[in-house]
Chains A and B, each alone.
Chain A
Amino acid sequence: MSKKLLLQHIDVPGINTYEVYRKQGGYKAVEKALKEMTADQILEEVKTSGLRGRGGAGFPTGMKWSFLAKPEGVARYLVCNADESEPGTFKDRYLMEKIPHLLIEGMIASSFALGANTAYIYIRGEYFYVHRILENAIKEAYANGWLGKNILGTGYDLDLYMQIGAGAYICGEETALLESLEGKRGNPRIKPPFPAVAGLWGRPTVVNNVETIAAVVPIINEGGANYANIGVGKSTGTKLISASGHINKPGVYEIELGLPVEEFIYSDQYCGGIRNGKELKAVVAGGSSVPILPKELILKTAAGEPRLMSYESLGDGGFQTGTMLGSGGFIVMDEDTSIVKNLYTFSRFYHHESCGQCSPCREGTGWMEKILKKIISGNGTLSDVDLLWDIQSKIEGKTICPLGEAAAWPVAAAIRHFRKEFEEYVTNPQNIVDVKHYYRVNNLAAV
């Protein structure tokens, strides 16, 4: 059984309530942080832990915290990014729904470490029922003296509020999130200045993902060095993986980083294998924006090493033969899946979610959607496949925020690894058959 740090008490009945959470040792990290530690000591523990941002970018959290500007007399803020909307990702929702006090505990300890007296949780608008759970949990935390003035008699004050979004993927990008929190359109800002210097209302701000903030709790409780002992290499600790698609047991799993991908897919402890006895065809391992990999490359690296669930192993081979851990949105596709059609749903998504600020993304995502639609409807040509490649190559690196890359990478990877399937779509459209829910190219099951 692999070690669980975030979800270890998830099966305890009533763990979503304050009383049960507290009985299971909840809020001890806040007691320890506020009474026994200084802000700098907490920062050091987080640095030692090797914790990396769990929202997708994987940037070292301790380093991000250390960038926070601390001018005298200027308020600073901690903002939790709970705008989870990367297709394939639903771990933050699970965590907030099942064990909301873990996030609140992490928010309090982290805010203390950053010297913030006001903190916000920005949660995506569609998670209506989670809003209520969080609001209740925040009320419970206030009622029991963990939030408000003079917490635990230490003189530390913290107000924590929830703010809801309204359906915009782009608001998961931290500067777009801050714009949205200010009551504006979610247009990403040009960096620098970074939020650590000029964030919410122009004041120093740290933005962290839900899971990142939750991970601060075990880091404080058990120490950064112990956290760093879990995992493999620079991929320390545990990670929540959202598993979906054609598997027997979809859901959220907490894994120790370094778990072999093969074990994750086929073990009954995790995904439980491919449903209906089908063969695995491909996996999108870290949310819609990371490169898709065919079976051979997701189970083993190009060098023939077993692929592990870690930042480094999934990234092995670069984008030629590797991918990214990303947000941990693990989408599994069986042998009948049309990679082209799946890509179409991704490109349609990115076109819909482009904020429209930068021309390459605003126009390019639309063109890619249009061309893919033409191809899947049987009207594509071989030059359309080259055109797709050309367009994606001209979006990457040419936009204010990474949505451009997020839209380009899946297109590039699908063509890179499944070019034959695209060619079959345009040369033999009569072979495209509807297999129940999805489409496949009839004679290409084994590509």
Chain B
Amino acid sequence: MNVKIQFSEKALASVNEIIARYPADKKKSALIPVLHIAQAEFDGWLSAETMDYVASILEIKPIEVYEVASFYSMFNLKPVGKCLLEVCRTSSCWLMGAEDVVRFIENKLNIKEGETTADGKFTLKTVECLGACGYAPMLQVGDKFYEFLTLEKTEKIIDNLDSTGKRSTYNGWQTGKESEIIMNRVD
């Protein structure tokens, strides 16, 4: 296998820490957490090259990675925008106006659900229940839950993301300080 990409030292340390959570002959169990780290490390999606690399680290066949990556909806098998906007659309969120939020974002960014803006900044996706039913409607961006959305609030969130221009994917496995944790849930 001719693998060229490589995890940063920090990511590799996390990967090794995770592998140690399972019996030595059960390395494959680390696959899903490691794919999360890989996705955060390599532009928010899993290319074939990335998946082959993960296979080599876990000493499993590439097909074992592909079949898992394609099963779970959090893994992106195609490139996505810098900010992936995921609006929950199931029952409680729908009851509280999720469709309006989706329509509003579509109009504001001039894209349809599932599309990415021309500048590559935003991808809009609707997703199934994220467990924020009592705080509906909600939107997930990377590791942040934005809840009790109104259209005004949604606009502000998108404008803020636009101005920071940072990639909003799950940032690996690090444990944050308390204040950072609280900030990750944005009411």
On A, residues with C-beta under 8 Å from B are 17, 84-90, 93, 97, 120, 124-129, 132-133, 135-136, 139, 161, 163-169, 180-186, 201, 242-246, 250-252, 284, 288, 329, 331, 333, 337, 341-342, 345-346, 348-349, 352-353, 355, 436-438
On whether the beta carbons of B97 and A437 are closer than 8 Å, the reply is: yes
Interface hub of B31, B94, B99 (most chain A Cβ within 10 A): B94
- The verdict on A127 contacting B131 (CB below 8 Å), with A88-B91, A132-B175, A180-B32 known, is yes
On whether the beta carbons of B74 and A184 are closer than 8 Å, the reply is: no
Q: Which residues of chain A come closer than 8 Å to B60, judged between CB atoms?
A: 183
Q: Which residues of chain A come closer than 8 Å to B140, judged between CB atoms?
A: 126
Q: Which residues of chain A come closer than 8 Å to B89, judged between CB atoms?
A: 345, 348
On whether the beta carbons of A185 and B92 are closer than 8 Å, the reply is: no
On whether the beta carbons of A331 and B133 are closer than 8 Å, the reply is: yes
Closest chain-B Cβ to A163's Cβ sits at a distance in Å of 7
User: In the bound complex, how far is the Cα of B145 from the Cα of A164, in angstroms?
Assistant: 17
Count of chain B residues with a beta carbon within 8 Å of a chain A beta carbon: 55
Interface hub of B26, B74, B131 (most chain A Cβ within 10 A): B131
Q: Which residues of chain A come closer than 8 Å to B181, judged between CB atoms?
A: 129, 132-133, 136
Q: Which residues of chain B come closer than 8 Å to A329, judged between CB atoms?
A: 133
Q: Which residues of chain A come closer than 8 Å to B28, judged between CB atoms?
A: 182-184
Closest chain-B Cβ to A437's Cβ sits at a distance in Å of 4
User: In the bound complex, how far is the Cα of B147 from the Cα of A244, in angstroms?
Assistant: 13
User: In the bound complex, how far is the Cα of B131 from the Cα of A120, in angstroms?
Assistant: 21
On whether the beta carbons of A331 and B92 are closer than 8 Å, the reply is: yes
Q: Which of A89, A182, A348 contacts B131 (CB 8 A)?
A: A89
Name which residue of chain A comes closest to B145, CB basis.
Answer: A129
Q: Interface 1/0s, chain B 66-105, versus A by CB < 8 A?
A: 0110011111000000000000011110111101100000
Cross-chain pairs A/B with CB under 8 angstroms, 6 sampled: A90-B133, A127-B131, A136-B178, A163-B33, A183-B58, A352-B128
Q: Which residues of chain B come closer than 8 Å to A124, judged between CB atoms?
A: 131
On B, residues with C-beta under 8 Å from A are 21, 23, 26, 28-33, 35-36, 58, 60, 64, 67-68, 71-75, 89-92, 94-97, 99-100, 127-136, 140, 142-145, 170, 174-176, 178, 180-181, 184-185
Name which residue of chain B comes closest to A83, CB basis.
Answer: B131
On whether the beta carbons of B129 and A87 are closer than 8 Å, the reply is: yes
Q: Which residues of chain B come closer than 8 Å to A136, judged between CB atoms?
A: 175, 178, 181
On whether the beta carbons of B100 and A244 are closer than 8 Å, the reply is: no
Interface hub of B75, B95, B170, B174 (most chain A Cβ within 10 A): B95
On whether the beta carbons of A166 and B95 are closer than 8 Å, the reply is: no
On whether the beta carbons of A89 and B133 are closer than 8 Å, the reply is: yes
Name which residue of chain B comes closest to A16, CB basis.
Answer: B178
Closest chain-A Cβ to B83's Cβ sits at a distance in Å of 15
User: In the bound complex, how far is the Cα of B135 from the Cα of A242, in angstroms?
Assistant: 11
Name which residue of chain A comes closest to B60, CB basis.
Answer: A183
With A89-B131, A163-B29 given, name 10 new contacts (CB 8 A).
A84-B131, A85-B129, A88-B129, A90-B131, A132-B181, A183-B28, A184-B28, A201-B26, A250-B134, A329-B133
Q: Which residues of chain B come closer than 8 Å to A341, judged between CB atoms?
A: 94
User: In the bound complex, how far is the Cα of B32 from the Cα of A201, in angstroms?
Assistant: 16
On whether the beta carbons of A182 and B29 are closer than 8 Å, the reply is: yes
User: In the bound complex, how far is the Cα of B90 from the Cα of A89, in angstroms?
Assistant: 12
User: In the bound complex, how far is the Cα of B130 from the Cα of A129, in angstroms?
Assistant: 13
Closest chain-B Cβ to A120's Cβ sits at a distance in Å of 8
User: In the bound complex, how far is the Cα of B144 from the Cα of A166, in angstroms?
Assistant: 15
Name which residue of chain A comes closest to B30, CB basis.
Answer: A183
User: In the bound complex, how far is the Cα of B74 from the Cα of A341, in angstroms?
Assistant: 26
